[in-house]
């Protein structure tokens, strides 16, 4: 069965549901004044990748911004031709007038991660004890499978992938580490709309219809579909029949990407937002595309070069912060004093008794501070249960 775009038709008794907020449409004017395409995309994609990292492996995330017309008309027609009637529906109020034209795209890929694990035939909401990355990423809106203490969310946050596309759409390929399965999927979030006299629901999926449940769309496992996606959008992940599952992870393609998503803006955001895991060796980030500093085609950020790149693209205060973070990482077990903690069950507050001022270590820290050198201070904090 050939992979295609599928929209459910409205059935008797079903509520009409449209996505809320200006993040999807509103004729190009977002009601979210805090929306920054680059910052939101970097935060969501990297945090999800770190959360999906495999034990004892560093995570690598790749961002590739294509040339403005790297996606030809033929490629656009192949992947998105079936979407045009839905995109043109007047109820959708798309931000720009869609046409099957050449355009740019953005690719995000992660490596050292587990991919979208879980039963991809599951159609009902997982119970609290269940974990299904695939369901939460592909079938759920406003639902996350992450527990407390996890940094990102495949709940509301995952909508950023479609939101960064001018046709509110993304394609994805995943290779799973646990079972070695690879497949392609896609999603678009429009509005409840009509084509002629047929009424369609807002969400469309790219995949194949399940033989037992026509409305259930499954990802395509066709090797030729995976190979064409890899070729058309220059994916670095090999997802053929003999692919080594050690290259497992997720690749996301954002067609007609927001024009604010440039290689240099993504580089600057990564440096500002994720310098800590990079300095700790937990993360490396590759960025490629036109317009990078010094005319280079690509950059690979790591603990050894992040400060150098920060000096060329970031404000002085960001560079100073990175220098302090770099020093802290190198000296986390040295030149550090610990303040005295309070045993009283009261809210903590700064007071002179916390400082071990009579010790030589404290006086040495004070001398370094007066010279303008960085210092490290560990502050114990007692957290009392609420009553």
- Over residues 75-96, the mean pLDDT reads 88
Q: What pLDDT was estimated at residue 2?
A: 87
Q: What pLDDT score does 335 carry?
A: 67
Judging by DSSP bridges, how do beta strands 249-255 and 105-111 pair with one another? antiparallel
Q: Alpha-carbon distance 123 to 128, whole Å? A: 15
Of the candidates 235, 130, 250, the residue with the CA atom closest to the CA atom of residue 181: 250
Q: What pLDDT score was predicted for residue 20?
A: 59
pLDDT at 359: 87
Residue 119 near residue 49 (C-beta atoms within 8 A): no
List, for residues 92-106, the tens digit of each pLDDT value: 887 666 567 889 999
Q: What is the mean pLDDT of the chain?
A: 85
114 falls in which pLDDT band (50, 70, 90)?
A: very high
Tokens of 364: 């040495």
**pLDDT confidence bin for 24, thresholds 50/70/90:** very low
**Residue among 120, 109, 129, 110 nearest 52 (CA):** 110
pLDDT at 241: 59
Cα separation, 288 vs 300, in Å, equals: 9
Structural tokens at position 245 = 């599952």
Percent of the chain with pLDDT over 90: 49
- What is the residue whose two structure tokens read 């509005």? 191
Residue 99: the pLDDT is: 67
What per-residue confidence (pLDDT) applies to 22?
44
Q: Tell me the C-alpha distance between 32 and 168, whole Å.
A: 16
Q: What is the mean pLDDT of residues 192-207?
A: 93
Measured between alpha carbons, how far is 19 from 84 in angstroms, rounded to an integer? Answer: 20
Tell me: the pLDDT tens digits for 139-173?
Answer: 876 655 555 444 444 344 568 899 899 999 999 99
Letter string b/e over residues 151-169, b meaning 16 or more CB atoms within 10 A of that residue's CB: ebbbeebbbbbbbbbbbbb
Domain residue ranges in the chain: 4-261, 334-378
Tell me the per-residue pLDDT of 338-369, one tens digit each, with 9 for 90 and over.
888 766 667 777 888 888 888 888 888 888 88
pLDDT at position 30: 43
d(CA 167, CA 84): 9
Q: What is the pLDDT of residue 153?
A: 42
Q: Which candidate, 137, 185, 25, 143, places its Cα nearest to that of 92?
A: 25
H helix or E strand, kind and range, residue 214: none
The number of CA neighbours under 13 Å toward the Cβ of 363 is 3
The pLDDT tens digits for 209-259 are 987 777 899 999 999 999 999 999 999 987 765 667 788 999 999 999 999
DSSP 209: E
d(CA 248, CA 176): 5
What digits encode the pLDDT tens for the residues 288-304?
Answer: 999 898 788 999 999 99
The answer to whether the beta carbons of residues 4 and 82 sit under 8 Å apart is yes
């Amino acid at each position: 069965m050939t992979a295609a775009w599928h929209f459910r038709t409205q059935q008797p008794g079903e509520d009409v549901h449209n996505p809320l907020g200006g993040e999807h449409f509103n004729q190009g004017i977002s009601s979210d004044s805090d929306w920054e395409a680059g910052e939101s995309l970097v935060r969501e994609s990297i945090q999800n990748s770190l959360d999906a990292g495999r034990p004892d492996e560093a995570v690598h995330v790749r961002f590739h911004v294509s040339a403005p017309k790297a996606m030809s008309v033929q490629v656009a027609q192949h992947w998105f031709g079936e979407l045009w009637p839905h995109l043109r529906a007047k109820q959708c109020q798309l931000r720009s007038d869609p046409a099957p034209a050449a355009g740019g795209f953005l690719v995000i890929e992660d490596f050292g991660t587990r991919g979208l694990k879980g039963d991809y035939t599951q159609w009902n909401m997982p119970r609290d004890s269940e974990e299904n990355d695939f369901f939460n990423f592909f079938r759920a809106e406003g639902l996350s499978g992450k527990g407390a203490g996890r940094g990102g969310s495949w709940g509301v946050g995952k909508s950023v992938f479609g939101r960064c596309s001018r046709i509110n759409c993304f394609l994805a390929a995943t290779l799973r580490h646990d079972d070695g399965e690879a497949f392609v999927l896609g999603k678009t979030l429009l509005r409840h709309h009509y084509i002629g006299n047929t009424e369609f629901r807002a969400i469309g999926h790219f995949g194949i219809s399940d033989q037992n449940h026509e409305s259930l769309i499954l990802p395509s496992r066709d090797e030729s579909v995976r190979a064409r996606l890899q070729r058309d959008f220059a994916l670095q992940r090999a997802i053929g029949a003999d692919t080594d599952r050690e290259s497992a992870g997720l690749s996301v393609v954002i067609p007609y990407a927001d024009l604010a998503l440039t290689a240099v803006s993504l580089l600057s955001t990564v440096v500002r937002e994720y310098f800590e895991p990079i300095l700790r060796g937990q993360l490396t980030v590759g960025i490629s595309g036109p317009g990078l500093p010094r005319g280079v085609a690509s950059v690979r950020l790591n603990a050894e070069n992040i400060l150098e790149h920060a000096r060329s693209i970031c404000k002085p205060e960001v560079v100073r912060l990175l220098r302090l973070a770099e020093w802290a990482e190198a000296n986390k077990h040295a030149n550090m004093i610990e303040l005295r903690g309070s045993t009283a069950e009261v809210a903590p507050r700064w007071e002179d008794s916390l400082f071990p001022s009579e010790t030589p270590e404290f006086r040495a820290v004070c001398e370094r501070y007066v010279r303008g050198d960085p210092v490290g201070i560990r502050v114990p904090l007692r957290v009392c249960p609420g009553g």
